[in-house]
Amino acid sequence: MSIEPGSVRTIRGACGHDCPDTCGWVVEVRDGIATRMSGDPTHPFTRGTLCAKVNHYLDRVYHPDRVLHPLKRVGPKGEARFERVSWDEALADIAARLQGIAAESGAEAILPYSSAGVQGLIQEFSLDRRLFGSMGCSALERAICCTVAAAGLTATIGTGTGIDPEQIVHSRYVVLWGTNTIVTNLHYWPLVREAQRRGARLVVVDPIRTRTAESADWHLQIRPGTDTLLVLAMMHVIVRDGLVDRDYVAGHAVGYEALVERVRAYPPAGVADAIGLPAEAIERFAREYATTQPSLLRPLIGIEHHRNGAMQFRALACLPVLTGAWRHRGGGLARSTHALHYAALALDRVLMPEVQRPGVRTLNMRDLGRDLCDPSLDPPVRALMVSGANPMVSIPNQARIREGLLREDLFTVVHDLFVTETARFADYVLPATSQIEHLDLSPAWGHLYLALNRPAIAPRGESVCNTELFRRLAHALGRSEPWLLESDESMLRAALSSGHPWLEGITYERLWAEGHVRLSVPEDWRPFASGGFSTASGKAELYSEPLRALGHDPLPAPGEIPREGGLQLITGKTLHFHNSGYSHIERHRRRTGDLFIELHPDDARQRGLVAGDLVRVWNARGALHAVCAVSDRVRPGVAWMPFGGLTDAAGTRQSVNVLTAEAPTDWGGGSGLYDAFVEVTTVEEAVAAGGAVQGPREITASAPASSPPSSGGTPPS
């Protein structure tokens, strides 16, 4: 903390959003009020800039809609009618209800549901796991993001991570594979550009022509869900043309002969139509990729939200093994770095697995709607404790979640900064702090800088951070074990005390003073340059015996590529929203515009639709109204809609997840929510109030080729 003349304090912190960048920031505080927030210029990865959302973070902190006191429901569920109550009253009632439910039905009838609404070492998970785990509540499988990617990669290389992403500048062939870097991982973009400046060729593999794809040297606009087919065809070429690094494979991989046999059946010409690319493009891509070293694959999560998602990652991980790309600085694959931070930190000291009651059931967040509505679930879910999550927007099959949340016999508590779509159904809404109001350690999933987020201002109103909520709840439940009441600083110091070499020289004091420190991973760290894979065989598993034992194909295989009637609906992240967040803030809503669906001109023509039409998007699970955009950013047969709490033309906040299904992935516990199919038809009434409709704006930082008029369109006949 530095004291400046005029008693202005500046305090370093780190963004807590679920995002690879984990930006360093500096908050200026005058008389206890945060007056300015800017990017921390000393942060080596985020270099003094924030993003389109966090540039306005203080508007969020001081937003008039913030929940500042505990609220108790006084109207029907879903109507968001609440009255203010005291913390004591709220906690006493919540504790009594939980104890009653546990006594009658067992603690498994309580489902704590949290996600990465705040991402950080103790606010995301710590005392909640200790408290609910020691009570024997149902456990939650948090598999809506990243777990499928990690499970898929692990099958081949024994880990879900790869090289230090910053090493990209040494690459000469970069493939952004199913990730929209400019929108979702903004601070990585300058490094991608730096690699290009140094001579790298930049390829994007994505069914949508995103702004990232537009900025690449080459965009391969494949059919969704066909990535494994593409990888098989690439490996066919690499093997056929003698481009395999035979030494690397002989020394560090198992199953090469079986893989060769498998890829023989996938010549580019045979699968080009299914992938939706010309055979020549696949041939060229394979040869360029294999012969330009160092080559780097960069996937995030786009390809995991398909039913065959884990296999797509498993297949992808075979490529740098075949070509020996891991040998080279800047070569291989770069994905989430969370595992590297967590490997260094004393995670068990935070989670305390020893206090968790063993043998409790695990429910998957993907199946929330099904589980809330399942009368045969024993015991049924009778209490839902939500924090840092907004499942009414983010989880598939919204109709069922809504039906579940409406159950009169379900007791729901939501801890959040706002009355979210989920909180509208709650019996109690408890006020949460923003990231500048609490302490946390911030491991990043996009780089190796570990940050300390220091509180800059006092909690607003009566809001409390997640750890404080669970200390209070433990106390209200009559629990007094010291590990349920541990302080934030104590947990952070313990986490840093692992003795792991990557934490050498990284102390709480140093983080307090400097804000962020890079893990002590060697500069030129090549984790698999000479093998050392932590698989069962100790080698990269081109053939996987463990997968076979689990009933999966032991070799890369295309898996289930869905083909239903209608258009395949891909949904994605937007520039001005963070998942469901920021959607209730006018500025961000305005910039994002009304809910829209983007169709290819051929698909629009077939349906008699033009840009600006108000359309009904529907399938067996539900329906939405949206504005029609027409653009060749999408392939024929594919439609795109923005994910988040967008409003439709009638002003109702909607989530595209009314259209998506749970659709379990092959393994990894995730959801194939990008495998939804929809039909699109005109809405006869069209836009009653001309001028009400705002078409797509800076959603993906890319204006569709033909935008609908911003002041209403001609009503379709």
Q: Point out which span in 199-207, 241-249, 524-532, 702-710 binds ligand MGD (CB under 6 A).
A: 199-207
Among 112, 276, 404, 572, binds ligand MGD (CB under 6 A): 572
Tell me the residue type at 107. A
Find the binding residues for Mo ion in span 460-519 (CB under 5 A): none
Binding partner at 389 among Mo ion, ligand MGD, none, C-beta below 5 to 8 Å by kind? ligand MGD
- For tokens 């066919």, what's the residue? 236
Which string of x and - marks every residue 661-690 that binds ligand MGD (by CB under 6 A)?
------------xx----------------
| Contact by Cβ (8 Å): 497, 509 | no
654 binds ligand MGD (CB under 6 A): no
Least distance in angstroms from the C-beta of 145 to Mo ion: 3
Least distance in angstroms from the C-beta of 674 to ligand MGD: 5
Binding partner at 583 among ligand MGD, Mo ion, none, C-beta below 5 to 8 Å by kind? none
Among 27, 110, 118, 373, binds ligand MGD (CB under 6 A): 118
Q: For residues 211 and 633, what is the distance between their CA atoms, to the nearest angstrom?
A: 10
Q: For residues 343 and 628, what is the distance between their CA atoms, to the nearest angstrom?
A: 47
Tell me the residue type at 156. T
Among 656, 661, 680, 693, binds ligand MGD (CB under 6 A): 656
Among 575, 611, 663, 678, binds ligand MGD (CB under 6 A): 575
Among 209, 219, 236, 306, binds ligand MGD (CB under 6 A): 306
Residues 6+ apart with CB under 8 A from 110: 98, 101, 102, 132, 135, 137, 138, 381, 382, 383, 385
Burial of 652 (0-12, 13-18, 19+ CB in 10 A): exposed
Q: Point out which span in 352-360, 391-399, 402-410, 548-556 binds ligand MGD (CB under 6 A).
A: 391-399
Find the binding residues for ligand MGD in span 528-567 (CB under 6 A): none
Least distance in angstroms from the C-beta of 382 to ligand MGD: 21
| Contact by Cβ (8 Å): 163, 526 | yes
CA angle 21, 26, 27 (to 5 degrees): 125
DSSP 671: B
- The β-bridge relationship of strands 383-387 and 110-114 is parallel
Least distance in angstroms from the C-beta of 110 to ligand MGD: 17
How far out from the chain centre does Cα 94 lie?
Answer: 30
| Contact by Cβ (8 Å): 421, 644 | no
Among 232, 233, 277, 301, binds ligand MGD (CB under 6 A): 301
Q: For residues 235 and 244, what is the distance between their CA atoms, to the nearest angstrom?
A: 9
Q: Point out which span in 28-36, 144-152, 443-451, 548-556 binds Mo ion (CB under 5 A).
A: 144-152
Tell me the residue type at 625. H
Q: Which is nearer to ligand MGD, 444 or 687 (CB)?
A: 444
The DSSP line for 36-76 is EEEE-TT-TTTTT---TTGGGHHHHHT-TT---S-EEE-S-
Among 643, 654, 677, 702, binds ligand MGD (CB under 6 A): 643
Least distance in angstroms from the C-beta of 578 to ligand MGD: 5
571 binds ligand MGD (CB under 6 A): yes
How many residues contact Mo ion, by CB under 5 A? 1
Q: Which is nearer to Mo ion, 61 or 145 (CB)?
A: 145
Among 145, 383, 474, 656, binds Mo ion (CB under 5 A): 145
Give the CA distances from residue 207 to residues 83, 210, 222, 592, 698, in Å, rounded to whole numbers and listed in that order: 47, 9, 5, 22, 19
Q: For residues 413 and 418, what is the distance between their CA atoms, to the nearest angstrom?
A: 13
Binding partner at 687 among Mo ion, ligand MGD, none, C-beta below 5 to 8 Å by kind? none
Q: SS3 letters for 479-527?
A: CCCHHHCCCHHHHHHHHCCCCCHHHCCCCHHHHHHHCEEECCCCCCCCC
Q: For residues 285 and 345, what is the distance between their CA atoms, to the nearest angstrom?
A: 40
Among 580, 592, 631, 707, binds ligand MGD (CB under 6 A): 580
- The β-bridge relationship of strands 567-572 and 638-642 is parallel
Q: With b meaning 16 or more CB within 10 Å and e meaning fewer, what string describes 189-212?
A: bebbeebbeeebbbbbbbbbbbbb
Q: For residues 534 and 371, what is the distance between their CA atoms, to the nearest angstrom?
A: 35
How many residues contact ligand MGD, by CB under 6 A? 61
Least distance in angstroms from the C-beta of 18 to Mo ion: 6
Least distance in angstroms from the C-beta of 40 to ligand MGD: 19
Q: Point out which span in 29-37, 173-181, 341-349, 452-460 binds ligand MGD (CB under 6 A).
A: 173-181
Least distance in angstroms from the C-beta of 78 to ligand MGD: 17
Q: Point out which span in 172-180, 494-502, 596-604, 607-615 binds ligand MGD (CB under 6 A).
A: 172-180
Region of 281 please: left (phi>0), alpha (psi -120 to 50) or beta.
Answer: alpha
Binding partner at 416 among ligand MGD, Mo ion, none, C-beta below 5 to 8 Å by kind? ligand MGD
- For tokens 């080009």, what's the residue? 272
Q: Which is nearer to Mo ion, 394 or 433 (CB)?
A: 394
Q: Which is nearer to ligand MGD, 208 or 529 (CB)?
A: 208
Rg (CA), the chain: 25
Binding partner at 575 among Mo ion, ligand MGD, none, C-beta below 5 to 8 Å by kind? ligand MGD
Among 40, 206, 245, 427, binds ligand MGD (CB under 6 A): 206
Q: Which is nearer to ligand MGD, 240 or 284 (CB)?
A: 284
Least distance in angstroms from the C-beta of 568 to ligand MGD: 9
| Contact by Cβ (8 Å): 636, 604 | no
Least distance in angstroms from the C-beta of 313 to Mo ion: 15
Binding partner at 388 among Mo ion, ligand MGD, none, C-beta below 5 to 8 Å by kind? ligand MGD
Tell me the residue type at 37. M
228 binds ligand MGD (CB under 6 A): no
Binding stretches for Mo ion (CB under 5 A): 145
Binding stretches for ligand MGD (CB under 6 A): 18-19, 115-118, 123, 144-145, 177-180, 183-184, 205-208, 210, 222, 224-225, 227, 300-303, 306, 387-391, 393-394, 415-418, 420, 432-433, 466, 570-575, 577-581, 643, 656-657, 660, 673-674
